[in-house]
Structure 1
Amino acid sequence: MNRVAEAGKAVYDLPMTANCWLDKGEKPGKYPSGGPVSRRMEWWKFAAPAIDVIAPDIYVQNFCEICDAYTKMGNPLFIPETATHSHVGPRLVYTVGHHHAICFAPFGFEDMGQEFSGTQSYLFGVDTSDPLLQTPQNVEEYRWYNQTLAAMMSMLADAYGTDRLQAVITEVPDKNRMMFGSYGFMVLFDLPIIQRKDGVCLALQVSEDTFYLIANACMLAPFSADPEKPNVDLLALEEGYFEDGKWVMTRRLNGDESASMNFGEPTLLKIKLFSYK
């Protein structure tokens, strides 16, 4: 930690970080292979104990795999740079919900939504096989994600480090279940009725049977994990937003809307479940 103080004021401990330039398939020397890349984290943790956080600049396509690699050895996920293509909004939600990230900062934020230059395309690793890696992030949707997370920040921060806050994303299709004690959610992304491919779902448990969810481009299927009460149903399903820390319902869902919980755009939900024999 670096200690910072002004005359007559309190002393603050600021964490020290080290950015990491990742291997993009080049030979050592073309990138700093001796830097704090994940396969050298043990060396850095031993030789540079004053560095609190090793932070990857993520422009490679295997984003989720990199996040996993940089959360070993108690290293918190701190992303000081990442690309601004159409995966960035869902990745923001995923890193907060799944890894409890302490920083997520798209590079060139002021240019978000604009067409990529040749330099940006090279830097961002634009992949012609994935249209979302060629397409800039929708600015209004990114604003919605940030405002929604900011409005929930006190609750999210309280759940950091616990199983009460989880997330899944379409980029990791084989991990689409979230378990919360006697309840769980199956999140379905690859369905004919879902046209978008930027699906994500964050779930925050606030009581045994009540959850807030951020959902986009997915279908939700809650289930019971209690063998004594294997069936599950809804007591309430609401759309809404937070204002001054309070939930504001804008629409109550029922009928077909609750029977098939399919969300084609970013949506904040409050859901209350019950299980029975």
Structure 2
Amino acid sequence: MNPKITNNPRHPERGEGPLYFALVVAVVCSLLPAALTPARAADIPHIAKTADGGQFILDGKPYLILGGELGNSSAGVAAQADTILPKLAKLHVNTVLMPVAWEQIEPTEGQFDFTILDHWIDVARAEHLHIVPLWFGSWKNAFSNYTPAWVKQDTTRFPRAISADGAELEILSTLGPETLKSDTRAFTRLMQHIQDKDAGQNTVLMVQVENEVGYLGRGRDRSAAANKLFAAPVPTSLMTNLKEHRDTFSPELAAHFNPRGATWKEVFGDAADEVFMAWNYARFIQTVAAAGKQAYALPMYVNCQLPAPSERAGEYPSGAPHPYYLAVYRALAPALDLYSPDIYWPNFEYWVQRYKTPGNPIFVPEARIEAGPVNAFYAYGEAKAFGFSPFGIDSLEPSTDPKTQPAMQQTFEALDNLADMIVPAQAAGKTRGLVLHADSPRPTQTVALGGYLFEATLSRSWPAKTLIADDGAMIVIESAPNEFYISGRGLTVSFFRDPDVDEKTGGIASIEELTHADGKWTTQRRLNGDQTNQGRSLSLAPKDVHTYRVKLYATDSARHGGQ
């Protein structure tokens, strides 16, 4: 039976509170098939959180997601899986983030079709890949163009957000009761189908709920329902939660929060519009995610479109899970397991660190693919991410020839070879990473690990008569006392004993360039002489990724002179 929810308008002055949202979940779940039998929790992929982040657990073991997000139109038909997924497997991608649009699975209200998704899951299994469905429900990049036609056409039943000048936007309002009910029903049916199709096989790892939500335009939604709520006092439950967790606030929220205020404007000042929209989106998403988890409790997350330099709220989607106001989402959306940044701007490290807060594991679901080959090393090494995913991964063509291999393929191959080492090293605090860009204002960066300092500068290449520096990055893994695996490109790395540890002198005992096959490392060559700057540094090739085993030594400093 495919239940159809009929139009049931409500008065805008009633039911916007938590009781209404809970009622929606109860109604939707009552309409679902009776066979909602949750899979055993022990069998379901999940996230083990730690004070420093967390790890993704698959089949009882930590799993490193080497991800790739498809282009928006790359998963709209089943046949695309047959050509795209085998190609991604050759790129050393192990997890594919793929859109699942509301219009795709429910083209006619109450009638669901999962044929396309099923084929993608089947092909992924054959290629030994995993899938993360991206629910393009009520919103995708703030707009609502992935909704079914029956939603788009009925603006009375599914009201739009209203701009400051009174115009209807191509953005569904967060306050449409039928929108919430229908989105929740569709998402829950999706999660139930994934359980029926995949429980126990775990091809599907987790799910993104909506996509880059937020209000685009000056201020906030100006619908009658929104105006009434904005003029009312901030809900007591939100105020209580925020007061209890003030020590976790971002600096931006802390600067605006006035616990003695009553209305949104009084409590949040200049940030009131954005916090108000965050409240609306967070409670909508909580309802959708909580109902979906009742069907199948896979990990769930939301992603955030971050502002370009100098952009203001509304120029980027306002009310998204932006790091400034994550406290609002944490207060309202406990069904979400983590919050993830989509990073397309040059300041990758800054945005990753803004999301590296207690209880929020790092997963980057979208990143600029051109910078992915270097940013991945930082994500896994320094931020201890359990996953990194460049956008448009299907645009790359794999190659077996190192001269024509995409840089992302080289990076993922190196990280794939190191994955069994990276996962426990992350948990033990034995990984570091860094990125240096050709235009970086900081030509040298240093990280400390295992009693040593690793000082990196950009390597140089000499095309024609011009001295050029490419972007460089590396991950450093402490594999044993005084032993480290280093993988990366474009850097010259010098090694010193860490003076904060002791006053010894450090040096290079040996450097081996490694290859990996059949689960084993083999020494391809031992570096010395000119290849180590006479025993003083390691040079990583400017454009090619290599992995090295570096053994260092520490000896008591020589003492000269006397009294």
TM-score band, normalised by the shorter chain? 0.7 to 0.9
Equivalent residues in 2 for 1:77-116 (5 A)?
77-85=362-370, 87-112=371-396
* Residue type of the alignment partner of 2:519: G
Q: Deviation string for 1:2-33 (max 9, x for gaps)?
A: x98559x9455521101112222444334321
CA RMSD of aligned residues (A): 2.7
**Alpha-carbon distance change, 11 to 5 in structure 1, aligned in 2, over 3 angstroms:** farther
Q: 2: distance between equivalents of 1:158 and 1:271?
A: 19
Bigger share in strand: 1
- Shift of the alpha carbon at 1:139? 4.7
Secondary structure, in 3 states, of the residue corresponding to 1:94? Answer: helix
Q: Deviation string for 1:136-157 (max 9, x for gaps)?
A: xx85322111011111111100
Secondary structure, in 3 states, of the residue corresponding to 1:247? Answer: strand
Equivalent residues in 2 for 1:235-246 (5 A)?
235-246=509-520
* Residue type of the alignment partner of 1:148: A
Q: What is aligned with 1:273?
A: 552
Is 1:230–2:501 an aligned residue pair?
no
- Shift of the alpha carbon at 1:74? 2.8
Unaligned runs of 5+ in 2: 1-35, 47-297, 398-403, 557-563
- Shift of the alpha carbon at 1:228? 6.1
Bigger share in helix: 2
With the length of structure 2 as denominator, give the TM-score of the two structures: 0.41
Q: 1: distance between equivalents of 2:502 and 2:390?
A: 46
Kept in 1, the 8 Å contact 2:450–2:478? The answer is no
* Residue type of the alignment partner of 2:508: L
Is 1:161–2:434 an aligned residue pair?
no
Q: 2: distance between equivalents of 1:247 and 1:155?
A: 12
* Residue type of the alignment partner of 2:526: R
Q: 2: distance between equivalents of 1:266 and 1:223?
A: 23
Q: What is aligned with 2:479?
A: 206
- Shift of the alpha carbon at 1:267? 1.7
Q: 2: distance between equivalents of 1:32 and 1:218?
A: 37
Pick aligned residue for 2:455 from 186, 211, 215: 186
**Alpha-carbon distance change, 254 to 247 in structure 1, aligned in 2, over 3 angstroms:** same
* Residue type of the alignment partner of 1:182: G
Pick aligned residue for 2:522 from 208, 231, 248: 248
With the length of structure 1 as denominator, give the TM-score of the two structures: 0.80
Pick aligned residue for 1:46 from 317, 331, 353: 331
Unaligned runs of 5+ in 1: 114-137
Mean Cα displacement is larger for which, 141-150 or 237-246? 237-246
Structure possessing the higher radius of gyration over alpha carbons: 2
Q: Deviation string for 1:68-99 (max 9, x for gaps)?
A: 111123311111111122x2100011101011
- Shift of the alpha carbon at 1:276? 1.6
Q: What is aligned with 2:416?
A: 150
* Residue type of the alignment partner of 1:23: P
Q: What is aligned with 1:130?
A: none
Instruction: Give % identity.
Output: 25
Equivalent residues in 2 for 1:167-182 (5 A)?
167-171=433-437, 173=442, 176-182=445-451
Q: What is aligned with 2:540?
A: 263
Q: Deviation string for 1:13-58 (max 9, x for gaps)?
A: 5211011122224443343211101101111111112111111111
**Alpha-carbon distance change, 233 to 46 in structure 1, aligned in 2, over 3 angstroms:** same
Q: What is aligned with 1:124?
A: none
Q: 2: distance between equivalents of 1:75 and 1:84?
A: 24
Secondary structure, in 3 states, of the residue corresponding to 1:213? Answer: strand
Secondary structure, in 3 states, of the residue corresponding to 1:73? Answer: coil
* Residue type of the alignment partner of 1:141: A
Q: Deviation string for 1:190-231 (max 9, x for gaps)?
A: 779873331112110011100000131111111112676632
Q: What is aligned with 2:317?
A: 32
Is 1:71–2:347 an aligned residue pair?
no
Kept in 1, the 8 Å contact 2:378–2:435? The answer is yes
* Residue type of the alignment partner of 1:180: L
Secondary structure, in 3 states, of the residue corresponding to 1:204? Answer: strand
Q: 2: distance between equivalents of 1:149 and 1:207?
A: 19
User: Aligned pairs, how many?
Assistant: 249
Q: 2: distance between equivalents of 1:274 and 1:31?
A: 50
